[in-house]
Chain A
């Protein structure tokens, strides 16, 4: 039981005004199941942005779980998006790979509004393999931020979700094997090795997969048992080519196969310039209900509307499409730019499949509040027959 959660439940339970005929939860679930919704759901990945929106600095919440949870709920109470995203920073994911005395050199804070800078853990593929083979992640787990910060924050938000009678879902984010494998060594090294050291990369990915599959058991026990149903799989492999997807995509596919058995509403996050082959693959992996996708690949010379329509056609009858505006436009554009992008996405998508409005990646912490509000308002305005 958490005081910060109970405080918010006392303030909000039975008092939040419905914004449509469905609850936020029902709206998200229906979109994921590709059924009719009363309004187009809006569920931006608010990440660091919600911290400053709620009046905190990043450094202020870094070691304060209650304030982190407070920021997420406060922002939701104000904006009434259709989901609450957990706040996650990179230390929550991989601090348990690092001995305590070496952690300060790997995580550096930038400014009040900025993210946590992470320095890679291994310089060579052999070092990366050794890190997994020595099971560093188990040895250093106790007292690491996945245990002391990530899990308590997740449990607090799920407690809020349950005490509010599931009117709004909490999205729990989990990184996939490819994401871990790339993060630990830095993506530019990893993708080189897919060509120069393919056998070692396979070994490395197998080890990352083993650790991630075990992590899913943790998620089943701690997140699933406490009410989590919406799971975001943060995919890596964003700069892979078709050969790499074919050769090494198996690790993420096996991860998906287990995740979808444990959680009913699983979606995939693929940010950056999306390769058409990757998008096709995401329609083939069974059980994923939605895809949070981003921009067209460099060689695809498509307008925003054309890109969204091409994806919607690919997803028809298979996946709910999650996008718009881009993270960049949400940050650098005007409210009208944001509205136009959302409009184009919905007009291109809704004839083919269901949609959730949200950028393909997070809302950057520097994004103006009026842009975030414009995104929400534009989605809410869309008439659904």
Chain B
């Protein structure tokens, strides 16, 4: 089997939710001389992009997407230490993400994190029901470009204002862009509450992340 075929099979394993098969396939790619970064970007991440396409077309649905994400992670776990050893992958930006205070739903974040990683973002996941102070601490610790606030319900989305206020009070607002995500978000309402944008679709959000990182860096340059 040639390199392309191996990578294609890996992408298909993600799409077909092959939890058992992904590990041996990643190992096979490594044994065949493919680099961890190649395996990640052209195998696992390519699979996640295909998942996104099929989700948008209504060919697969949230249960399938979530299991595909689990497959992606299972493969990534094998590659992560090797990528670290090799000096890391090219990174489009750094993002900290967490489900906002008072919200324990992870259904959106569980999809968003692997999608963002597959798109080339370094993602630090702070978990669920994240206190505002923990976002502040994580900004200081990790110096991200973007803060992702996951919300599942309208009530918790409304907490955005408070999280932004706490980040502002800590003097960190200018250092980061803030984006809200989840099924109940609304971009103009997010902006009114002090965030920079919002998206209810992880794949569409990638384009927004790219724009926000660009704006942030342009702001830092000027």
Contacts and interface: CB of A to CB of B under 8 A. Distances in A.
Given A242-B61, A299-B57, A188 B155 contact: no
B184 interface: yes
Given A299-B56, A299-B57, A299-B58, A366 B104 contact: no
Interface in B176-190: 183-184, 186, 188-189
Contacts of A48: 155
B55 interface: yes
A366 B193 CA distance: 13
Interface in B120-168: 129, 153-155, 158
A239 B107 contact: yes
A190 to B, nearest CB: 9
A332 B105 contact: no
Contact of A366 (B17, B64, B155): B155
Interface stretch (A79-87, A114-122, A160-168, A208-216): A114-122
A134 interface: no
B132 to A, nearest CB: 13
B60 interface: yes
Given A195-B67, A299-B58, A332-B189, A272 B155 contact: no
Nearest to B67: A195
Tell which of B56, B57, B153 has the most Cβ of chain A within 10 Å: B153
B30 interface: no
A370 to B, nearest CB: 16
B66 interface: yes
B196 interface: no
- Residue with the highest number of chain B CB atoms closer than 10 Å, among A192, A244, A273: A192
Interface in A104-146: 108, 110, 113-115, 117-120
A95 B74 CA distance: 36
B142 to A, nearest CB: 25
B60 A365 contact: no
Nearest to B185: A328
B154 A364 contact: yes
Contact of B62 (A119, A120, A186, A241): A241
A275 B189 CA distance: 26
A331 interface: yes
Contacts, number: 92
A196 B154 contact: no
A280 to B, nearest CB: 14
B95 to A, nearest CB: 20
Contacts of B60: 241
B203 to A, nearest CB: 10
Contacts of B110: 188
Interface residues of A, number: 38
Interface in A279-304: 297-300
Given A117-B104, A186-B105, A192 B186 contact: no
A240 B60 CA distance: 10
A243 B60 CA distance: 10
A354 interface: no
A365 B57 CA distance: 34
B4 to A, nearest CB: 28
19 contacts: A114-B102, A117-B129, A118-B104, A187-B105, A187-B107, A188-B105, A192-B70, A195-B63, A196-B19, A196-B67, A241-B60, A241-B63, A297-B58, A298-B58, A327-B154, A328-B189, A331-B158, A364-B158, A366-B155
Interface of A: 48, 108, 110, 113-115, 117-120, 186-188, 191-192, 194-196, 239-244, 272-273, 275, 297-300, 327-328, 331-332, 364-366
Given A241-B64, A327-B154, 14 more contacts: A110-B155, A115-B153, A188-B106, A191-B107, A192-B66, A239-B62, A240-B61, A241-B62, A244-B61, A297-B58, A298-B56, A328-B186, A331-B158, A364-B153
